[in-house]
Amino acid sequence: MDILYFAWLRERIGAPRERVETSAETVRDLVAELIARGERHAAALSDLGAVRVAVDQVLSDLDAPLGGAREVAFFPPMTGG
């Protein structure tokens, strides 16, 4: 599965994307696996209230299932202008 990071998440993790093998059933499970990878991931994903997620380019929540998903993107909340 491809994991994409945008804005300050990308800066904290140190990469715009990574490919992971996962057994996560939901986005929340995936976040737990990513946090366990180390300090950079833990710092970036420590405040999930400040993070939005899209599964296969569809805005989703943390309880969204990952069955068959090819891509998960993490990004800060967007504002209009």
Q: Could you tell me if residue 55 is inside a domain?
A: yes
The distance between the two most distant Cα atoms of the chain, rounded to a whole number of Å, is 39
Q: What is the pLDDT of residues 5-42, one digit of tens each?
A: 999 999 999 999 999 999 999 999 999 999 999 999 99
34-63 per-position pLDDT tens digit: 999 999 999 999 999 999 999 999 999 999
Taking alpha carbons only, the member of 2, 10, 1, 18 closest to residue 76 is 10
Any domain includes 16: yes
State the Cα torsion 14-7-75-35 to the nearest 10°.
Answer: 20
Domain extent for 11 = 2-75
| CATH code, domain carrying 54 | 3.10.20.30
pTM, rounded to two decimals = 0.93
Reduced to 3 states (helix: H, G, I; strand: E, B; else coil), residue 38 is coil
Closest by Cα among 53, 59, 20 to 38: 20
